[in-house]
Amino acid sequence: MNPSAQRTEIERDVVVVGAGPAGLMAARTLSKAGKSVAVLEARERVGGRTWNGRVRDDNGVDHFVELGGQWISPDQTRLIELVDELGLSTFQRYREGKSIYLSPNGERHEYEGPVFPAADSTQAEMDKLIKILDDLAAEIGAKEPWAHPKAAELDSISFRHWLEQQSDDEEAIDNISIYVASGMLTKPSFTFSALQAVLMAASAGSFSNLVDEDFILDRRVEGGMMSVSETLAAELGDDVFLGTPVREIQWAQPDPSTEDSLNNVKPDVRNGIPNNGEPGEVTVVSDQVTVRAKNVVIAVPPNLYNRISYVPPMPRDLHIAHQHISMGLVIKVHAIYETPFWRDKGLSGTGFGGGRLVQEVYDNTNRGQNIAGGTAGEEDAYGTLVGFVSDVYAEEMWHLPEEERKQRILSAMAEYLGPETMEPIAFYLSDMAAEEWTRGAYATSYDLGGLSRWGHLQNQPVGPIHFACSDIADEGYQHVDGAIRQGERAANALLDNG
Ligand SMILES: Cc1cc2nc3c(=O)[nH]c(=O)nc-3n(C[C@H](O)[C@H](O)[C@H](O)COP(=O)(O)OP(=O)(O)OC[C@H]3O[C@@H](n4cnc5c(N)ncnc54)[C@H](O)[C@@H]3O)c2cc1C
């Protein structure tokens, strides 16, 4: 990698903006096909929203934590293949013993199997809602949800309001909405559409898959998910430039017919340009490096497209579309203990509570290379819990003083796993919303009506500019698998165009 390039100018076939999994996979695919590439990354590290971190305990011992994306589900086949190809290994999330369900009034239930121990009538309503969503996901699919005849209708109603039209059981609605709202898009269920929820389900194979935590949160990579990006970047060597945010992309010739001298409007490409996707002349200006290339792949989350100046400005459709896609907000909580104490109580560490401050808790104990000096397959003696505080609760927590925030979050986790939860030896909160080059978590999604209006544009190249990101994926939407697929897709589209 090239950490300290000094304001150089270089030429490549393709320049990739962003060294997350999507950008690195695009660069690798292009490089393997014989194209010369440069990857320009704003941060001083690769991996984007996958990030291996450390947290120091009260005794000065450092523990491994994954601050961003970590889990792989069995349907994420492209990522599973790649992990294998890169020589990395995976391990399963601990899931022995009973799980905990907190009902909306805080009642605690221990249960086994995939189904919450809610009242029979609530369970029946949940089954009904899951079936409706499974059917819609199968019918509409993840490829082009905007093109389906029901798209406009389902995109015009919030997921919450839509669920309320299907059921009047508040607890069933809370529990179903958790899987998409706080659990995936990390936005309140009244802020995104039923169509967005169907896309999330279709992308995971079905709504039933989203409901099954043993499916969705199946495996982790030994050495952390970030090691996928680190291994890809190592293959690319000096073609990856770190610490060099892209500021400007010169990408097209203005269309003289758009000039309006009466109103002092200079020519631009407001109506779009011909030859979308084909090679052109691109100059990408970043803090350290300027790259001249035939194509550019923008592999940053869509909420950051507008952080780059385009010369000339993008066509008007994209100006509008890019304003309707925004990041969710979630705090990933990491708490380390001397031992995984919950296991001694016959608990798996898994807990759910629709509408609670911490709505999900899991055993996230490390394995193998994640432990300092650890060997493959070895399990950490320390126990790690991970919890999630989503959307409005995350906002509330970030406004509290640090110690009060910690106590509130630990108390909420203790409701699931008992008083020992209050005494971690190390505690850390992932704060992706404060990161300039991400600005939220986990990913971006459209506002109400946005997917049906603008979704069809998200994967279309404009001139020599191609886009790749997990947030515009069909399979693996908002996940690392989607990022990998997107990187390959953009690279192959570019190769097809010569
Ligand atoms: C807390 C958290 C938990 C998650 N959990 C999971 C999980 O368990 N499983 C899963 O599959 N997914 C998970 N995800 C989502 C997953 O991490 C993302 O889907 C994936 O990282 C997206 O990859 P990407 O390459 O599309 O984008 P990113 O990973 O966001 O990479 C984009 C890169 O572009 C860079 N960049 C941005 N702007 C510029 C610029 N102007 N110039 C140069 N570089 C720029 C950024 O610094 C970044 O490195 C999680 C995400 C978060 C935040």
- pLDDT tens column, 310-331: 999 999 999 999 999 999 999 9
* Ligand 1 atom 17 nearest Cα: 69
Residue 96 among known ligand-binding residues: no
Beta strands in 18-102 (DSSP E): 37-40, 52-56, 62-66, 71-72, 90-92, 98-102
Ligand 1 pocket test, candidate residues 2, 49, 227, 333, most atoms within 8 A of CB: 49
Q: What domains sit in the chain, N to C, each tagged with a CATH number?
A: 13-50+225-326+444-497 (3.50.50.60), 51-73+90-114+330-432 (3.90.660.10), 120-211 (1.10.405.10)
| 48 in contact with ligand 1, CB cutoff 6 A | yes
Determine the atom of ligand 1 nearest the C-alpha atom of 25: 25
Confidence of residue 116 (pLDDT cuts 50, 70, 90): confident
Please tell me the predicted confidence (pLDDT) of residue 498: 77
Please tell me the predicted confidence (pLDDT) of residue 214: 80
pLDDT at residue 1 is higher than 90: no
pLDDT at residue 475 is higher than 90: yes
Please tell me the predicted confidence (pLDDT) of residue 11: 98
Least confident interval from 97-111, 333-347, 372-386: 372-386
pLDDT at residue 71 is higher than 70: yes
Confidence of residue 473 (pLDDT cuts 50, 70, 90): very high
pLDDT at residue 4 is higher than 60: no
Ligand 1 pocket test, candidate residues 470, 472, 475, 488, most atoms within 8 A of CB: 470
| 305 in contact with ligand 1, CB cutoff 6 A | no
Q: 48: CA distance to ligand 1 center in Å?
A: 4
pLDDT at residue 302 is higher than 70: yes
Q: What is the mean pLDDT of residues 461-485?
A: 98
pLDDT at residue 455 is higher than 90: yes
Please tell me the predicted confidence (pLDDT) of residue 3: 53
Q: 47: CA distance to ligand 1 center in Å?
A: 7
| 461 in contact with ligand 1, CB cutoff 6 A | no
Determine the atom of ligand 1 nearest the C-alpha atom of 247: 41
193's CB contacts (< 8 A; 6+ apart) are: 154, 155, 156, 157, 158, 159, 162, 446, 448, 449, 450, 451, 452
| 68 in contact with ligand 1, CB cutoff 6 A | yes
Please tell me the predicted confidence (pLDDT) of residue 370: 66
| 307 in contact with ligand 1, CB cutoff 6 A | yes
pLDDT at residue 148 is higher than 90: yes
| 445 in contact with ligand 1, CB cutoff 6 A | no
Residue with tokens 């941060």: 43
Determine the atom of ligand 1 nearest the C-alpha atom of 286: 42
| 245 in contact with ligand 1, CB cutoff 6 A | yes
Confidence of residue 433 (pLDDT cuts 50, 70, 90): very high
Confidence of residue 449 (pLDDT cuts 50, 70, 90): very high
Please tell me the predicted confidence (pLDDT) of residue 2: 58
- Whether residue 337 is preceded by a cis peptide bond, meaning omega within 30 degrees of 0, is no
Pairwise pLDDT comparison (410 vs 378), residue with the higher score: 410
Residue 91 among known ligand-binding residues: no
Check: CB of residue 41 under 8 Å from CB of residue 49.
Answer: no
Confidence of residue 7 (pLDDT cuts 50, 70, 90): confident
Q: What is the mean pLDDT of residues 33-46?
A: 98
Please tell me the predicted confidence (pLDDT) of residue 249: 98
Q: 64: CA distance to ligand 1 center in Å?
A: 19
Please tell me the predicted confidence (pLDDT) of residue 372: 65
Check: CB of residue 171 under 8 Å from CB of residue 124.
Answer: no
| 133 in contact with ligand 1, CB cutoff 6 A | no
Residue 472 phi, psi (nearest 5): -120, 25
| 442 in contact with ligand 1, CB cutoff 6 A | yes
* Ligand 1 atom 1 nearest Cα: 68
| 246 in contact with ligand 1, CB cutoff 6 A | yes
Please tell me the predicted confidence (pLDDT) of residue 118: 84
Determine the Cα–Cα distance for residues 51 and 7; give it in Å rounded to an integer: 27
Sort 87 into a burial class: Cβ within 10 Å, 0-12 / 13-18 / 19+: exposed
C-alpha triplet 448, 449, 454: angle, nearest 5°: 125
Question: Cβ of 326: how many Cβ atoms within 10 Å?
Answer: 19
Average pLDDT over the chain reads 95
Residue 16 among known ligand-binding residues: no
pLDDT at residue 294 is higher than 60: yes
Q: How far from 70 is each of 52, 191, 198, 222, CA to CA, in Å?
A: 9, 26, 23, 10
Please tell me the predicted confidence (pLDDT) of residue 105: 83
Of the chain, the percentage scoring pLDDT greater than 90 comes to 89
> Which pTM was predicted?
0.97
| 387 in contact with ligand 1, CB cutoff 6 A | no
Q: Are strands 108-111 and 219-221 parallel, antiparallel or unpaired?
A: unpaired
Residue 42 among known ligand-binding residues: yes
